Amino acid sequence: MGEEFDGRVVVVTGASAGVGRAVVRAFARRGANIALIARGIDGLEGARAEVEAMRGRALVLPLDVADADAVEEAADRVERELGPIDVWVNDAMVSVFAPVGETTPAEFKRVTEVTYLGYVHGTLAALKRMRSRDRGTIIQVGSALAYRAIPLQAAYCAAKHAVKGFTEALRTELRHDGSRVRVTQVHLPAVNTPQFSWSRAKLPRAPRPVPPVFQPEIAADAVLFAAAHDRREVWVAWPTTKAIAGERIAPSVADRWLAKHGYEAQQTREPLPAGRPDNLYAPVRGDHGAHGRFDAPAKSRSLQWSLTKRRRWIVASALAVVGLFLGGRGWRALAGAR
């Protein structure tokens, strides 16, 4: 597909704010026509204006991804109005910041319906159309928390683990069928998005992302990269790599560290405001954009991500250097033999 997406049709769920909004902007800059799925009409209209300002076509589809029929109908409308879907990005999510014992069954159900089943619904809608054409890319916006769960976000972590398991099963089925439809996961670190201002919280102090925090444009760049390159998974930033590797090597160490530091690391020094609105069941009004309120500490660059994007070039260069070195030794050996 290459780095440019001129005239390509891209569907983004969670398109109104946060990572999804940054993803919309990134694709729009490269000429894509974009279907915008989310619940909040204010954010969707803001995203539409940004796409159209970059001379792209935008289709606003206000819906809840927990509704499988609504997602299927939206996919149908995308293909009627924009054309065949080339890329489908699943990003919509909700969360609850609370200990397990203070999270209700209804809250667990709601997070699961959006953050896990919403991905399933989007994937099924995309597959239905992509399989018949034997092409297309499905991108699951994941998290380091799909590998390493943390306290106070059990519902969200469980949903991300479920998305990972679902995607791995699907990938093996596509490979079995010889399908050229691609599915990939992009696992993110803590990102500065509005979710920390509107996710439901039952904490003494306002929630925050666990440092270090990264700007959503890094996440969007990774999604764009995943759409253009055949990678099984993409790990973004050193904290993601460290969390996944640490969980594989020494999970009990992570348990102890998180038990000691995980509560404090997820809360600011400010008390949780009384009557604070949340978006668990309905969107918070207004256009909230891509960034949250943690711009000051958030990093706009990641050395790990820069190296990850270029890993094939780096490996090829290293092999070339090794080859030259070994070749030089070989020539010297031959010269000495003479």
In this predicted model, what pLDDT tens digit does every residue of 161-179 receive, in sequence order? 999 999 999 999 999 999 9
With 0-12 CB in 10 A as exposed, 13-18 as middle and 19+ as buried, what is 182? Answer: buried
Report the predicted TM-score, pTM, of the whole model to 2 decimal places.
Answer: 0.91
Residue of 154, 228, 218 lying closest to 187 (CA atoms):
218
Given the residues 116, 119, 147, 156, select the one marked as catalytic: 156
DSSP string, 3-24: S--TT-EEEEETTTSHHHHHHH
Cα angle: 289, vertex 92, 88; to 5 degrees? 100
Contact yes or no for 204/180 (Cβ under 8 A):
no
CA distance 65 to 72: 10
What is the pLDDT at residue 4? Answer: 80
CA distance 201 to 319: 51
What is the pLDDT at residue 318? Answer: 45
What is the pLDDT at residue 323? Answer: 52
Cα angle: 125, vertex 129, 135; to 5 degrees? 120
CA distance 121 to 214: 29
Rg (CA), the chain: 22
The type of residue at 71 is V
Q: Is 289 left (phi over 0), alpha (psi -120 to 50) or beta?
A: left
At a CB cut-off of 8 Å and minimum separation 6, what does 37 contact? 11, 12, 13, 14, 15, 61, 63, 65, 71, 74, 92
Q: Give catalytic status of residue 156 as yes or no.
A: yes
Provide the H-helix boundaries in the chain.
Answer: 18-29, 41-53, 68-81, 105-111, 117-133, 154-177, 195-198, 216-228, 238-249, 251-265, 303-309, 311-337
Residuewise pLDDT in 10s, the chain (338 residues): 445 899 999 999 999 999 999 999 999 999 999 999 999 999 999 999 999 999 999 999 999 999 999 999 999 999 999 999 999 999 999 999 999 999 999 999 999 999 999 999 999 999 999 999 999 999 999 999 999 999 999 999 999 999 999 999 999 999 999 999 999 999 999 999 999 999 999 999 999 999 999 999 999 999 999 999 999 999 999 999 999 999 999 999 999 999 999 999 999 999 999 999 999 999 999 999 999 999 999 999 999 999 998 865 544 444 444 454 455 555 455 455 44
What is the pLDDT at residue 289? Answer: 98
The type of residue at 21 is R
